[in-house]
Structure 1
Amino acid sequence: MQRHVSIQVSGRVDLPLDGPPVLACGADLKSVFCVTRGRQAILSPPIGDLSEYASCQFYREAVDELLRRLQIQPAIVAHDLHPDYESTRFAKTFPAGRKIAVQHHHAHVAACMAEHGLAGPVIGVALDGSGYGPDGTVWGGEFLVADYAGYRRVGHFKPYRLPGGEGAIRHPPRMALSWLAEECGERADALGAQWLPAIPPDHRKTLLGLIASGAHSPWTSSAGRLFDAVSALLGLCDKISHEGQAAMRLQAAADRRESEALPVELEDRAGVVVLSFGPALRALLEQREAGVGIPILAARFHRAVAAAVAAVCGRLRDREGLARVVLSGGVFQNDLLLDWLTDALSAGGFEVYSHHQVSPTDAGLALGQAAVALAAATEH
């Protein structure tokens, strides 16, 4: 379908910050860009996946069209930290005076803060599929102490190997096998044969070799990949045809009446809280072997994530003295998790903020990038 350059603004958000005009380039998936004028952020409509040539061309034309229509010349261009994003490449070639790279999960948290007009600092919980970490790993299960000017990574999900890189995103059993290899050691091959029949025996051994060596298998703390792994282990999804499919099936399978949670473990590593779902994995397999139904296990996993995230926030409140929690990232499209986590945090005395105006997915990222860039301009 041919797209026209003429576009409609999809939304406007009043910002708690003022400053020079900013063009925030967003992300490559669910691409939305943002332009600021004074204390107002103006968001483009969703453009699509910038890995597709037509979407990429339309993105460039849409930026030019919106800037022309609004008669804005950006002084700052904000973009994701990932060097290989098309949106990053576009930002670096855009003729503006200052370029600001914004870490993916900081932008997620800042977007929700901006939507609610919050000043920091807050405890930011950013759960999504992936985002470029400054340590070179793939982030996605993050706890940040953040304001617009900066952030500290104070906690994260335990990282696992992503065997075959992006191929593991399309094939959830690969992530499940990585989880088995890390948490069950030598039993991983036999457990993989039992619970992950979609992986042929020869391929399973190849993948275990990649996981052991780390070849083509970056570390990831992704919450999204964790949901993929559980979905695969419960036989709900072997192959992804659209983003979030495995997690959606896991959510749909869950019995909302179930109140029990699978066990988790919190560990303090040099002042950073690491949240491990290894005990949850082992309990999940034991309970499935004992005949516990998939709806119950799916619900107990959701309960585990909600309880564990709330527990980490409790530990961070004791350490940092913060009682406001901001929830962002694509995993929070899962209304079951969002409801149970919000209830747990509220019961613990936290003020909880989640998205209502913009999406928690990468479609909301540009708003956060813009807010971070404005804070940087004020400091500068």
Structure 2
Amino acid sequence: MSLVYLKRLFEESNPQNKDFADYISSIQPEYKGMIDPVEISTVQSQILTGFNSPLTTSMGRLFDAVSSLLGIKHTISFEGEAAIGLEMKIGEKLYGSLLDRNILKINKNQRYGTVLEKYNEKFVIDDFSIFTQIVNDIQHKKEKSEISFKFHNTLAQIVLDISKYVREQNNIENIALSGGVFQNTYLLDLCFELLDNNGFKVYSNFKVPVNDGGISLGQAYMASLKKIS
């Protein structure tokens, strides 16, 4: 995922006529010894042809890309491992200081700028814009903990912005936070705080798994009802 974003950034910036392999190594040195030229060539071909490259709207893939870009996790041994590593990188100090003060006072320097567009009545997040700002922070030698902090704050701000728009257009004040991304305690707490401070009623899973485990439980429940009937 990280290579896909970097490929687009490389094409748009064309830095000093660098080779793509040299370019990605200049941003994340670990890629040099980890990704061979054949793999890079394969990814480039997949981008061009779309072969075995289905479009995804999963927030988890963005977490995977950022985690790899920061050198936290390039490969995983269980679902969500890269995202967990990214969350933990924030650090207890930043996490505690955030929850000890009014969330609304977080300034724009503590998150990335965002662009939201409507396409076919759906919101589309310009994730490439966020990724570009992260690369810029890496090139300016920002700490991984600071980048992760800003990344999480950005996602929470997006949740708030979309929720405000939905309320304005449809008079909806009940917001449900669900999906595997909300296993992230930092993000869940932050979204709860932001939404609550802005007058929303917020709901999330606590007894039922918030991730795909909830789907499995629901399927088992429906199967049991059919058996009873």
Identify unmatched segments of 5+ residues in structure 1. 1-174, 374-380
Question: Considering only aligned residues, what root-mean-square deviation do their CA atoms show, in Å?
Answer: 2.2
The one-letter code sitting in structure 2 at the alignment partner of 1:192 is I
Max Rg structure: 1
Q: Aligned to 1:208, which of 41, 44, 51?
A: 44
Which residue does the alignment assign to 1:239? 75
- Residues 186 and 372 of structure 1, relative CA distance in 2, 3 Å threshold: farther
Q: What do the CA deviations read for 1:69-94 (whole angstroms, capped 9, x no partner)?
A: xxxxxxxxxxxxxxxxxxxxxxxxxx
Determine which of 117, 126, 132 is the counterpart of 1:282: 132
Alignment map for 1:188-227 (pairs within 5 Å): 189=20, 190-194=22-26, 195=28, 196-197=31-32, 198-227=34-63
Distance 1:328 1:250, change over 3 A: same
Q: By how many angstroms is 1:187 displaced? A: 4.8
Q: 2:66 — aligned with what?
A: 230
List aligned pairs for 1:148-167, cutoff 5 A.
none
> Is residue 2:179 matched to residue 1:179?
no
Alignment-derived partner of residue 298 in structure 1: 148
How far is 1:311 from its partner? 0.8
- How many residue pairs were aligned? 199
8 Å CA contact retained: 1:193, 1:201: no
Q: After TM superposition, give the deviation of residue 186 of structure 1 in Å.
A: 4.8
What is the CA distance between 1:220 and its match in structure 2?
A: 0.4
Q: Which residue of 1 aligns with 2:87?
A: 251
Task: Tell me the distance in 1 between the aligned counterparts of 2:111 and 2:222.
Answer: 37
- Residue equivalent to 1:336: 186
Contiguous gaps of at least 5 residues in structure 2: 15-19, 99-105, 224-229
Query: Tell me, what secondary structure is at the counterpart of 1:238?
Result: coil
Partner residue of 1:307 out of 147, 157, 167 = 157
Percent of aligned positions that are identical: 32
**Mean Cα deviation higher: 272-281 or 185-194:** 185-194
Counterpart amino acid of residue 245 in structure 1 = E
- Considering fraction of residues, name the structure with more helix: 2
- Give the letter aligned to residue 207 of structure 2: Q
Task: Supply the distance in 1 between the matched residues of 2:116 and 2:154 (Cα, whole angstroms).
Answer: 12
Equivalent position amino acid for 2:72 in 1: L
Return the offset for 1:201.
2.6
Gap change, CA 1:216 and 1:342, over 3 Å in 2:
same
Larger RCO (alpha carbons 8 Å, 6+ apart)? 1
